Chain A
């Protein structure tokens, strides 16, 4: 095992929490394979021997529910609280201040306790818990209310305000400003942080829930190994040990409990085999060039004879294909010789041929054509990927029809669902192989990649075609479709594994900086 493998498979045990028993964990990145409880440090070597060999493109990850994450936080607060002897609510503030780096927190607590407490917004006074109380002759400095019997509150910093002002201040911070971890005392120039005990004392249950939700957001945002699933309305977070610095060597693809497959590095939808930095460059390029690309499609046509792209140059309609020298009319795409000499402009066009201007244009044209070659294929698979949802819905419908017309059971028609899913996933991969290929410089690895790409593409188009067959024929194609589905999946794995192994080993040459 090389050092990269070590880094990729590091467990999260240094965070002080193992896995919750009720948490879903998909070791090796494949669904349905339950990774048993992560053993404590020192026992995992033995465990690893029983795992199936991991593919180069797979990473370890775990999916956590909000309650798992809450439990993780609570456990860390508990641990640290026991060590430093501060109450839970203060320990929580200290941990948030140290961005959940337990070791660093304990170290600086031991070395510079007072400075740390000040900076974290805690103060040094560890007197009893703050209480709501009535103070004789009190006037609230916020609302100027001074009636006797007014309920007031202050944290240890002793900035006292009436309870209703204190409460309204907290509502404003939490509800309107979305603040939670860094809410300061309302006192003028006071930096003391409002702790959860204070909050529990003053606000309604609704607001308390919102507060803890916001704290959880900050917790996940603060931890490099945690990310929220980017799918809309999804409540899960994913834990993955791959670090930002590893992203040139691996494309860490994870699958959430909700089914969404995304890149842990950049949170975009699964973009294997292209590394995050290439994806970023590619999307920028597509955006920048979309106008050019539109112009091209409006101003170019394909030669009716050899199908290479022809650009309309000036007003002349007498076109000559650069490649096969076929002469045709831009307007009707018909053979030019049939037009006689009625388009007098054509002579001028001929005169200009061979000029430097046209050479330069041909060059820029060439690089554009290269881009368009990859872009069109990328966009085509993207388009098909968008149709995936329709295909899936159609599949479901077909499955029901098939069940009633063929007398097949639900379990027997599952092959259609499997085929549909394979199509979706393979198209997603194919799409990104074209972005990957655009930045790839030729070397002795490229040919294998291109063969893999071609094989996968053919397999996908084959399966896709069968999928479109009328329902009454589909039942008879079951075995063949299952074979093709398995073949597609196999080709995808081969392609991903090959690209990932070479990425890890630094065997690819790219025509851009990989940063």
Chain B
């Protein structure tokens, strides 16, 4: 039954992709692993960057939230600075996720967070502190990383 839902969602995002997103399947025939290339919002410090994101739909989806990993390195307080590039806030949290929520909503959320980091909900405390106390240095590194990894 979840299959019908995933098929429908996938058809919707390919016909009418959320702003700045190109969506494909990571592997042919596997509906549970989505590949997203997200263009950072042009008014954000990540402008010009293209970020590869892999979205894994657990087998309990949509009763459990999707798992989201940035495959492109990103200097951001809400994304883990490791090989996972995990993001877990808002509706991505298991206790906040509701089954009617859609991947398209998740991608909208991600783009919003790219434009406006949420340092009080950080997974990288060091980056969050820098964001709050030394915005210039934060922006410099974030932009350097965009040109280094996200072009």
Q: Is the CB of A172 within 8 A of B1?
A: no
| Bound-state Cα–Cα, A177 to B2, Å | 20
Q: Is the CB of A187 within 8 A of B98?
A: yes
Given A172-B60, A172-B63, A172-B64: A142 touches B4 (CB 8 Å cut-off): no
Contact of A177 among B4, B8, B62, B94 (CB under 8 A): B94
Task: Tell me if B44 counts as interface (CB < 8 A to partner A).
Answer: no
Chain A residues contacting B1 (CB-CB under 8 Å) are 143, 145, 164-165
| Bound-state Cα–Cα, A165 to B95, Å | 17
Shortest distance between the CB of B32 and any CB in chain A (Å): 16
Task: Tell me if A188 counts as interface (CB < 8 A to partner B).
Answer: yes
Task: Tell me if B99 counts as interface (CB < 8 A to partner A).
Answer: yes
Contact with B along A154-175 (1 / 0, CB 8 A): 0000000100110011001000
Closest to B64 in A: A172
Task: Tell me if B101 counts as interface (CB < 8 A to partner A).
Answer: yes
Q: By CB atoms of chain A within 10 A, which of B8, B95, B100 has the most? A: B100
Shortest distance between the CB of B14 and any CB in chain A (Å): 16
| Bound-state Cα–Cα, A164 to B4, Å | 14
Q: By CB atoms of chain A within 10 A, which of B1, B8, B99 has the most? A: B99
Contact with A along B1-20 (1 / 0, CB 8 A): 11011001000000000000
| Bound-state Cα–Cα, A161 to B63, Å | 13
Chain B residues contacting A169 (CB-CB under 8 Å) are 63, 99
Task: Tell me if A189 counts as interface (CB < 8 A to partner B).
Answer: yes
Chain A residues contacting B94 (CB-CB under 8 Å) are 177
Contact of B4 among A141, A144, A184, A190 (CB under 8 A): A144
Closest to B7 in A: A144
Chain A residues contacting B4 (CB-CB under 8 Å) are 143-145
Q: Is the CB of A144 within 8 A of B101?
A: no
Interface of chain A, main secondary structure: loop
Q: Is the CB of B98 within 8 A of A188?
A: yes
Closest to B5 in A: A144
Contact of A144 among B8, B64, B98 (CB under 8 A): B8
Q: By CB atoms of chain A within 10 A, which of B8, B63, B94, B95 has the most? A: B63
Chain B residues contacting A187 (CB-CB under 8 Å) are 98, 100
Q: Is the CB of A168 within 8 A of B63?
A: yes
| Bound-state Cα–Cα, A189 to B5, Å | 20
Contact with A along B44-62 (1 / 0, CB 8 A): 0000000000000000101
In A110-158, the 8 Å CB interface with B consists of 141-145
Q: Is the CB of B62 within 8 A of A142?
A: yes
Closest to B94 in A: A177
Shortest distance between the CB of B56 and any CB in chain A (Å): 18
In A469-500, the 8 Å CB interface with B consists of none
Q: Is the CB of B100 within 8 A of A141?
A: yes
Chain A residues contacting B100 (CB-CB under 8 Å) are 141-142, 161, 186-188
Chain B residues contacting A184 (CB-CB under 8 Å) are 98
Shortest distance between the CB of B101 and any CB in chain A (Å): 6
Chain A residues contacting B63 (CB-CB under 8 Å) are 168-169, 172
Contact of B98 among A143, A145, A189 (CB under 8 A): A189
Shortest distance between the CB of B34 and any CB in chain A (Å): 17
Closest to A164 in B: B1
Given A188-B101, A189-B98: A142 touches B5 (CB 8 Å cut-off): yes
Shortest distance between the CB of A70 and any CB in chain B (Å): 27
| Bound-state Cα–Cα, A142 to B1, Å | 9
Shortest distance between the CB of A188 and any CB in chain B (Å): 5
Closest to A143 in B: B1
Chain A residues contacting B5 (CB-CB under 8 Å) are 142-144
| Bound-state Cα–Cα, A423 to B62, Å | 59
| Bound-state Cα–Cα, A144 to B62, Å | 11
In A422-437, the 8 Å CB interface with B consists of none
Given A144-B5, A145-B4: A186 touches B98 (CB 8 Å cut-off): yes
Chain A residues contacting B62 (CB-CB under 8 Å) are 142
| Bound-state Cα–Cα, A263 to B101, Å | 47
| Bound-state Cα–Cα, A186 to B99, Å | 6
| Bound-state Cα–Cα, A186 to B8, Å | 20
Contact with B along A186-198 (1 / 0, CB 8 A): 1111100000000
| Bound-state Cα–Cα, A172 to B98, Å | 12
| Bound-state Cα–Cα, A165 to B5, Å | 12
| Bound-state Cα–Cα, A313 to B94, Å | 58
Shortest distance between the CB of B91 and any CB in chain A (Å): 9
| Bound-state Cα–Cα, A16 to B4, Å | 52
Shortest distance between the CB of A336 and any CB in chain B (Å): 60
| Bound-state Cα–Cα, A184 to B94, Å | 13
Chain B residues contacting A188 (CB-CB under 8 Å) are 98, 100-101
Shortest distance between the CB of A175 and any CB in chain B (Å): 11
| Bound-state Cα–Cα, A94 to B60, Å | 31
Q: Is the CB of A165 within 8 A of B99?
A: yes
| Bound-state Cα–Cα, A161 to B2, Å | 14
Shortest distance between the CB of A136 and any CB in chain B (Å): 20
In B54-104, the 8 Å CB interface with A consists of 60, 62-64, 94-95, 98-101
Closest to B2 in A: A143
Closest to A146 in B: B4
Shortest distance between the CB of B13 and any CB in chain A (Å): 14
Chain B residues contacting A144 (CB-CB under 8 Å) are 4-5, 8
Shortest distance between the CB of A178 and any CB in chain B (Å): 12
User: Could you give 27 example pairs across A and B, Cβ below 8 Å?
Assistant: A142-B62, A142-B99, A142-B100, A143-B1, A143-B2, A143-B4, A143-B5, A144-B4, A144-B5, A145-B1, A161-B99, A164-B1, A165-B99, A168-B63, A169-B99, A172-B60, A172-B63, A172-B64, A177-B94, A177-B95, A184-B98, A186-B98, A187-B98, A187-B100, A188-B98, A188-B100, A190-B98
Given pairs A165-B99, A184-B98, 6 additional interface contacts (CB within 8 A)? A143-B2, A145-B4, A172-B60, A187-B100, A188-B98, A189-B98
Give 5 closest A-B pairs by Cβ, nearest first. Answer: A141-B100, A142-B99, A143-B1, A144-B5, A144-B8
